[in-house]
Structure 1
Amino acid sequence: MSVAAEGAMAPVMAFALVGALGVGSQWLAWRLRMPAIVLMLAAGLIVGPVLGLFDPARDIGPLMGPMISIAVAIILFEGGLTLNLHSLRDAAEGVRRLVVIGAPLGWLLSALALHYVAGLGWAAAAVFGGIMIVTGPTVIAPLLRQARLKRRPAQLLQWEAIVNDPVGALAAVLAYEVVLVLQTATTAGHAVLELVVGIAVALVLGALGGWGLSSAFRRAWVPEYMKVPVLFALLLCVFALSDTVLHESGLLAVTIMGLYIANADLPSYTELRRFKEHATVLLVSGVFILLAASMNFETLSTLDWRAGVFVVAVILAVRPATVLVSLAATKVPWRERLLVAFTGPRGVVLVAVAGLFGERLAALGLEDGARIGPLAFALVVATVVLHGFTLTPIARALGLAGGEVPGVLLVGGSSWATGFAGALKKAEVPVLIVDANRARLRSARDAGLPTFFGDILSEAAERGLEIMSFGKIVAATDNDAYNTLVATDLAPEFGREHVHQLKSAKQESTRHALPATLGGQPIGGGHSYLEVNSLMAQGWEFRVTRLTEEFTLEHWREKNPEAVLLARLTPARDLRLLAEGAEFRAPPETKLIAMVPPARDEAATPDH
């Protein structure tokens, strides 16, 4: 490690360390099935205040503040870019109430808790209470990905987090302007005018930026290879211009810009969104590492027992009261209200904005301003750890999460797909068969299997299916080109290793061979659609077999040399769809799902 004589790390090494720790924490969290934010906070604290290897203020210098501001702006823009108004459906009323009623109510209750519980003065409590409206899309997104909530509670949490982020920042600006009026000679009229003008400019700049970009892309004024660079450049310009008029209003401007683009029906919208999602993963990782590493024991030592009681009060009283009052007399079921009420993690924006205004209040002579940063960090750590480990079990207890095993979505209502879905259901794996031909779904409906009539790639499917509850997809229609299209289009959403399709009938032909970048993983023992359904017509059937200490995988293969093995489900409820000849571990109690020829007696331990 290259370290200068005075102990400072070289800036290039500092950037490399942030990237390695951030992305490494996310990867390790994926491997261990833990909340990524928890590991990122831990990594930042270890290299920062614990070991003293990395101090962002020392090793990166004055650029850290602007870097975090720009990163938060890009994160909020990506959040706005995911907010398609058509996707709201029946969650619209709840989201509107959480913003219109929940934001001011949360501000009031947070300020009361800060004053009476944490012991802050009214000025600092009013400013920090505004910031606490923020629930943090940077934290909500990975939590939702991990918990796999049903659509409406997931939409409520996601929309509230993204919309309230700039609202919370602007509430803090409003409170700070009021404090500034009381502490300086600035007139109240001037402060109000500045606030109104700043918000208006942010709204106009955001809308103009979104409209201009959408128009330019739709009219082909920007070549394909320059769309993302142009998007980034315009995003930074909108943020900087709005922030120049009113500090922190740039967050509102970029959110409006993203919201406009999300609802402009651009042909290249999907590619833009996916690229932004990748950038956001890097930025979230980096910002969390920087903020955690910036903490020091002297700052954290200002936290006392009142700070602990304050955090508990926010989690168990302020947040539930805000949500339950906001959603009162709505059509949102009580179970969903409770889940949202006890899910309020804070994230990057809270820490970044709180630290900024805490310093400004301290500079005005308000000693309480110095306590805002540590309180914000304590709240973030407590809520991230708590919700990171409890959201999934609470959602399952309330019946608002998918099963322990991610479901399998089969595209195509053939006899083979119906038989495979029936075997998966017998193994207690959630399944759904999708087909655009209603007649092909008849046998599946007769078998009591869940079905969806429509095209899996349509907007109706995107709005009508609980996609979050499915972790794997099998494209098994009679149209090989459509199977490839489905697998290719959904691979970024599901993960390429979780998207499968039957072999193309002409796959062996060089003229019809497709590159590895198209299509999904093979399934069906190397058979095509016609071949697997021909086997079904010959009397082949699906079997679910449970392995034991006495009856191992080797014994099963000896007894079933002709069988086509399709999937295995371990005792830990880990489902894997298998290609022909795939190697895998099969401990006792593993369930094997396979196609077996007629009149084949397995002599195995039955599943039920």
Structure 2
Amino acid sequence: MVPSVLFEVMLIGLLGIGSQWLAWHYRMPAIVLMSITGLLAGPVFGFINPEEDFGDLYKPIISVAVAIILFEGSLNLSFKEIRGLGRPVFRIATYGAFLAWILGSLTAHYIAGLSWAVAFVIGGLFIVTGPTVIMPLLRQSKLKPRPAKILKWEGIIVDPIGALLAVFAFEIIAYLTANEPNGASLVLFFGASIFAAILGWACGKGMGWMFETGHIPEFLKSPAVFIVVIFCFTLADEIMHETGLLAVTAMGMTLANMGISSVEDMRHFKENISILLISAIFIMLTASLQVETLLQIFDPNIIGYVVLMMFVVRPLSIFLSTIKTDLSLNEKILLGWIAPRGIVALTVSGYFATILSEAGYEDASIITTLTFGLVFFTVVAHGFSIGWFAEKLHLSVEGKPGTLIVGSNTFTIELAKSLKKAKAPVLLVDSSWERLRKAREAGIPFYHGEMLSEQTEYHLDTVPYEYLVAATEYHSYNALVCTTFMPEYGRTNVFKVSPYHDIGNTMDDIVDKIGGRILFGGKASLETLNDKIRDGFVFRQTNISSRYPYKQYLEEKDENAILLYSIKPSGQVKYFSEEMKVNPEPGDTVVSLTPPVKENRRIQERLENQRTTTTNQKDADPQ
């Protein structure tokens, strides 16, 4: 056991974020590592038991964290994002959820051996996937936009629906089995659900109005949103258990569709908080499980139930609910397979296990075991298979990591040519059709549009590209593009051309302090790079090997050459910049912008050969 609760809080955070980092470093499913870490720290080795150690605070902490995570997820649900996908999303979240509830309840009764009452409660709960498990999976896999958006929308929308279905099933059961049936509880349930939705909408509208009118200062906006989310969740949940999830989802969707710039500014901050909470909650929930619960998972009835839920109930509900939609067969197969259960299922199942046991249903004692069995098996199976499965179905973005270049000019066109020659994906973006003319003639993939416009956000697929290079002639615009996309691409993957000029400029010094990393050591401005291209400089590839190491290459290269990037055999690109030290290893290829010394030498040799040939022919001719 740990020496104190404070130490346990620190350990939970360390284990959660450590699991996330290991998952990122080794390209593994984060939710799988977090689950295994929690099990090892809790029931296996007995280091921590958060439920026991935190006492009465345990459940409120979990509930508030789930509310914030669900709100953050719903904050991304802009209706503009699902243009053309509205019908499949609606069907999956309604018809699909209903079919999954009925089929899951039948499976729970006939396979897991639960009574009808408990089966219908647990069947409603198990339709949820949720942002706590879907978002990490989408981050690790490179799904194409259509299936990724459908999975995200389904996970967030169905989360509160599943909890409400479970509550509804319980209220129906309580009504039907009562000695003197009273419809007041059912009326309260429906009234509380409507109130929760209205409350969430009102809180979202209210916060949006206060942001737009300046009634909340910038430094208080994020704290104010957090408090209102907790208020919204708690007020609805106190009236009727689990309606709080519906309230925060309605609040997030309302704010997401108001088009408020302040919400965009807060979104990335909330994503970071959400990742921290997901990491901590997964560790807490799995570490609080009992050894008996883990052993019960291997009961044949529970394993049979889990297998049918994964391989029959989910695929059947997806295929039936998406009939006559424009989803392809491969998309239906992928959606029918990917349905991991997560935090909401684990937390809400504990609540129903208690109230059903108190109501006299003895089989409710295995709800926690059944829930964890489904959560763990789906998390492991879907976490490890989503990338491979999507690739086999041609629904993943294949190929090497690509580069998105903003700005079409002489240098960027040649840069794109060199990346294309190295078989690295590249896309050139510019708002001017005329500036893109040479790119079109050179056969370079391009996108005609303003990089910072809302239309580009919804029409440009940025998934295949891990690097962004801003190389327009406007340095402040380059900095703005880098700042905008830094949260999406990461600080180390966003670059801009040097804002420095030979004559110096104080405004450029200011621009230098914001935005992405400066390319090529900062000595080569866009004007300099374009001039070098016009002067005949060429893009040269040099293979680094054990016989010709990088150190020797630096010693022998032309002093006027500019190092651009190195590329590994895997296709990973490393751009040379002031802030990042690049050390190419044997097997890597270094690409540089080099004076045409070798080319001039070859031309000179060719001319000499032609002169020699001509002279020899003249000498051989008879006089």
TM-score by length of 2: 0.92
Distance 1:464 1:581, change over 3 A: closer
337, 341, 360: which one aligns with 1:342: 337
| CA-CA distance at 1:51 after TM superposition | 0.9
What's the CA shift string for 1:403-461, capped at 9, x where partnerless? 35322100001121111112112222211110011111111112222111111111111
1:523 aligns with 2:530: no
Distance 1:96 1:602, change over 3 A: farther
1:553 corresponds to: 550
| CA-CA distance at 1:469 after TM superposition | 2.1
| CA-CA distance at 1:556 after TM superposition | 4.0
1:91 aligns with 2:85: yes
1:606 corresponds to: none
SS in 1 for 2:434: helix
| Conserved? CA contact 2:117–2:173, under 8 Å | yes
2:36 corresponds to: 42
Which amino acid in the other structure matches residue 95 of structure 1? V
Which amino acid in the other structure matches residue 167 of structure 2? V
1:441 corresponds to: 436
536, 541, 545: which one aligns with 2:538: 541
Where in structure 2 are the equivalents of 1:65-464 lying within 5 Å? 65-185=59-179, 187=181, 189-303=183-297, 304-464=299-459
Distance 1:230 1:320, change over 3 A: same
Which amino acid in the other structure matches residue 448 of structure 1? G
Give, in whole Å, the separation in 1 of the partners of 2:217 and 2:490. Answer: 28
Deviates more, 1:11-20 or 1:74-83: 11-20
1:6 corresponds to: none
Structure showing greater Rg: 2
| CA-CA distance at 1:555 after TM superposition | 4.8
| CA-CA distance at 1:25 after TM superposition | 1.3
Which amino acid in the other structure matches residue 253 of structure 1? A
TM-score by length of 1: 0.94
| CA-CA distance at 1:491 after TM superposition | 0.9
Which amino acid in the other structure matches residue 370 of structure 2? L
| CA-CA distance at 1:525 after TM superposition | 4.5
What's the CA shift string for 1:173-199, capped at 9, x where partnerless? 111112222444462522321221011
Corresponding pairs, count: 597
What's the CA shift string for 1:143-183, capped at 9, x where partnerless? 11111211111100000000000000100011111222244
| CA-CA distance at 1:290 after TM superposition | 0.7
| Conserved? CA contact 1:90–1:152, under 8 Å | no
Deviates more, 1:294-303 or 1:517-526: 517-526
Distance 1:158 1:597, change over 3 A: same
Give, in whole Å, the separation in 2 of the partners of 1:26 and 1:118. Answer: 34
| CA-CA distance at 1:553 after TM superposition | 2.8
Which amino acid in the other structure matches residue 384 of structure 1? V
Distance 1:168 1:471, change over 3 A: same
What's the CA shift string for 1:61-107, capped at 9, x where partnerless? 11111111111111111111010111111221111111121110111
Give, in whole Å, the separation in 2 of the partners of 1:119 and 1:161. Answer: 28
Give, in whole Å, the separation in 1 of the partners of 2:472 and 2:300. Answer: 62
Which amino acid in the other structure matches residue 234 of structure 1? V
SS in 1 for 2:520: coil
Deviates more, 1:587-596 or 1:387-396: 587-596
590, 593, 602: which one aligns with 2:591: 593
Which amino acid in the other structure matches residue 157 of structure 2? V
1:532 aligns with 2:536: no
| Conserved? CA contact 2:399–2:425, under 8 Å | no
1:499 corresponds to: 494
What's the CA shift string for 1:485-517, capped at 9, x where partnerless? 111111112111110000003495456412775
Deviates more, 1:496-505 or 1:295-304: 295-304
Give, in whole Å, the separation in 1 of the partners of 2:108 and 2:584. Answer: 55
Deviates more, 1:21-30 or 1:511-520: 511-520
| CA-CA distance at 1:55 after TM superposition | 0.8
| Conserved? CA contact 2:564–2:593, under 8 Å | yes
What's the CA shift string for 1:369-421, capped at 9, x where partnerless? 11111111111111111121111122222222223532210000112111111
Which amino acid in the other structure matches residue 498 of structure 2? K
Give, in whole Å, the separation in 2 of the partners of 1:129 and 1:447. Answer: 57
| Amino-acid identity (%) | 40
Give, in whole Å, the separation in 2 of the partners of 1:350 and 1:166. Answer: 11
Pairwise CA RMSD: 2.0
SS in 2 for 1:236: helix
SS in 1 for 2:261: coil
Distance 1:602 1:140, change over 3 A: farther
1:467 corresponds to: 462
Give, in whole Å, the separation in 2 of the partners of 1:200 and 1:376. Answer: 28
| Conserved? CA contact 1:559–1:602, under 8 Å | no
Which amino acid in the other structure matches residue 536 of structure 1? I
Deviates more, 1:158-167 or 1:570-579: 570-579
Give, in whole Å, the separation in 2 of the partners of 1:295 and 1:425. Answer: 52
| CA-CA distance at 1:575 after TM superposition | 2.3
Which amino acid in the other structure matches residue 519 of structure 2? I
1:59 aligns with 2:53: yes
SS in 2 for 1:278: helix
| CA-CA distance at 1:463 after TM superposition | 0.3
| Conserved? CA contact 2:520–2:575, under 8 Å | no
SS in 2 for 1:586: coil
Which amino acid in the other structure matches residue 31 of structure 1? H
> What stretches of structure 2 of length at least 5 have no aligned partner?
602-623
Give, in whole Å, the separation in 2 of the partners of 1:517 and 1:24. Answer: 31
Distance 1:515 1:60, change over 3 A: farther
2:582 corresponds to: 584
Give, in whole Å, the separation in 1 of the partners of 2:425 and 2:133. Answer: 27
| Conserved? CA contact 1:14–1:60, under 8 Å | no
2:609 corresponds to: none
| Conserved? CA contact 1:478–1:529, under 8 Å | yes
SS in 1 for 2:391: helix
2:23 corresponds to: 29
| CA-CA distance at 1:53 after TM superposition | 1.2
Which amino acid in the other structure matches residue 520 of structure 1? G
| Conserved? CA contact 2:541–2:592, under 8 Å | yes
SS in 2 for 1:99: helix
| Conserved? CA contact 2:566–2:588, under 8 Å | yes
Give, in whole Å, the separation in 2 of the partners of 1:353 and 1:267. Answer: 35
SS in 2 for 1:593: strand
| Conserved? CA contact 2:2–2:47, under 8 Å | no
Deviates more, 1:180-189 or 1:486-495: 180-189
What's the CA shift string for 1:468-495, capped at 9, x where partnerless? 2221100000111111111111111211
Deviates more, 1:551-560 or 1:429-438: 551-560
1:570 corresponds to: 568
| CA-CA distance at 1:203 after TM superposition | 1.1
Distance 1:16 1:580, change over 3 A: closer
| Conserved? CA contact 2:42–2:287, under 8 Å | yes
Distance 1:581 1:138, change over 3 A: closer
1:7 corresponds to: none
| Conserved? CA contact 1:401–1:469, under 8 Å | no
Distance 1:224 1:427, change over 3 A: same
Distance 1:581 1:515, change over 3 A: closer
Give, in whole Å, the separation in 2 of the partners of 1:85 and 1:494. Answer: 24
> What stretches of structure 1 of length at least 5 have no aligned partner?
4-9, 604-608
What's the CA shift string for 1:292-345, capped at 9, x where partnerless? 001111122222022122222111111111111122211122222222111111
